[in-house]
Amino acid sequence: MAAQDNPLDEPLLAPGKDEEHHGGGGGDDVASMEAQLLHHGTGASFSRSCLNLSNVISGVGMLSVPYALAQGGWLSLALFALVGAVCYYTGELVARCMRADAFVRSYPDIGELAFGRGGRKAIGAVMYAELYLIAISFLILEGDNLAKLLPNTSVALPGGYYILEGKQLYILVAAVAVLPTTWLRDLSVLAYVSALGLVASVALTASLVWAGVAEHGFHAKDGNVFSLAGLPTSLSLYFVCFSGHGVFPTVYTSMRNKKDFSKVLLTSSVLCSLNYALTAVLGYLIYGDDVKSLVTLNLPSGKVYTRVAILTTLVTPLAKYALVIQPITTGIEEKLSLAGGQGGGLPRAAISTAVLASTVVAACTVPFFGYLMSFIGSSLNVTVAVLFPCLSYLRIYMPRGVVRRGEVAAIVGILVAGVCVAVVGTYTSLHQIASTF
């Protein structure tokens, strides 16, 4: 009998066996919605899969990497590389878990395969919390950048008792702009607009180069080499940069040739890492310790490159807000037994409007984008990108006896480090948020 090339490539459960084992859940709403963006025809090609995964990895975290570097110092770039390597490895673990069962198609499916219904509910809860906080961060991003682009704008409410101005005004404007998109069920129309995120990343880096050449020049500005106090914030923000693991199963499923996933993951991770690192170094060289949590806020007002950078970074959050918020809306509908039916339009609109309103209140309350992103990175991204893939992989494959001792030791080390980052980073970010009130 021929030996298996790799036992990790073999499914634990054969197709057709216990199909009902993977029942529906909140995470399936996330997967089905992402599939509208990622899956085309008979499957995505290698190049399209690289584009899809790069678009997943490259997100709003790019705007905060110069601030992360300023917090941790120049030596924290080594930790940035380490975080990227760890997240690449845990992405590989996600793919191995996908191969364990032919019916695993989403992140919560992996949770159920590894830990039963409790695992599905746990990872679903974490993903819902992550999506909600990301929606808040989108509105904060819109408010800060629009206030930078169009300063000194105010609107008096009827009666003149309250004046909306600056960030709060633009958060409300952004909310009004995205409100109709949250009422839609089919969000595939936003897919191509969301892909502009990659263009925004390139435009931001080019704007920083332009700013360095034309305005400030490139110099260290007495930047610190290493800051232990700022390290938790720095690490948390670095994890935000590589937090796409919840979407990896969908990218994997959408591929025409799933054996190429490792190459796709490596290519996308390297390209995004280089762009992140370049943005971090440029931002810190130009602005030093004065760099803000959103590097676009450092760009001088009225300049062409400032307008280009801000306008391109505004598009993606506006387009992706509805994609992010829909699983939450659908989950609430299901809990209230309102999903489906001809009369579901009005209740759905009411629920999505209420969810949007709650994120507006939160966005106006949390004053700093960087602190919120740090909290998301430490508490949720570390869980989704590090802890859960490692635990699931060990739970699925260790009973089969195919995990080597050296790999078990490495995974345990990653888990310990991940827990430390999660605990310390979450405490630090919550303390920073609380201290601003």
pLDDT digit string (tens) for 380-437? 999 999 999 999 999 999 998 899 999 999 999 999 999 999 999 899 888 888 887 6
Burial of 274 (0-12, 13-18, 19+ CB in 10 A): exposed
Can you give the pLDDT at residue 338?
58
Q: What is the pLDDT of residue 176?
A: 94
Q: What are phi and psi of 13, to 5 degrees?
A: -120, 130
Residue 77, φ and ψ in degrees, nearest 5: -60, -30
End-to-end CA distance of the chain: 69
List Cβ neighbours of 335 (8 Å cut-off, separation of 6 or more).
none
CB 297 within 8 A of CB 82: no
Q: Which two tokens stand for residue 376?
A: 């998301």
| Cβ atoms of 369 and 293 closer than 8 Å | yes
pLDDT value, residue 429? 87
CA dihedral 66, 69, 71, 75 (to 10 degrees): -170
- Are 7 and 400 spatial neighbours (Cβ–Cβ below 8 Å)? yes
Contact (CB, 8 A) for 233 and 68: yes
- Pairwise CA distance, residues 52 & 198, whole Å: 10
Which residue ranges make up each domain of the chain?
Answer: 41-435
User: What is the C-alpha to C-alpha distance for residues 358 and 344, in angstroms, rounded to an integer?
Assistant: 21
Q: Look at residue 19 in the predicted model and tell me its pLDDT.
A: 42
Check whether domain 41-435 has CATH 3.30.2040.10, yes or no: no
Q: What is the pTM of this model?
A: 0.81
Q: What are phi and psi of 156, to 5 degrees?
A: -85, 130
Residue 177 has what pLDDT?
92
In angstroms, the CA 253 to CA 282 distance is 36
Predicted pLDDT of residue 283: 92
pLDDT for residue 77: 95
- The whole-number mean pLDDT for each consecutive block of 10 residues of the chain, a chain of 437 residues, reads 44 42 50 53 79 82 92 95 97 96 88 94 89 89 90 78 83 93 72 69 87 79 82 92 87 90 95 94 91 89 86 82 83 71 70 94 82 85 94 95 94 96 90 79
User: Do 208 and 58 touch, CB atoms closer than 8 A?
Assistant: no
Distances in Å between the Cα of 164 and the Cα atoms of 118, 140, 171, 335, 360 are 45, 15, 10, 36, 13
Which pLDDT belongs to residue 308? 86
Res 194: pLDDT: 59
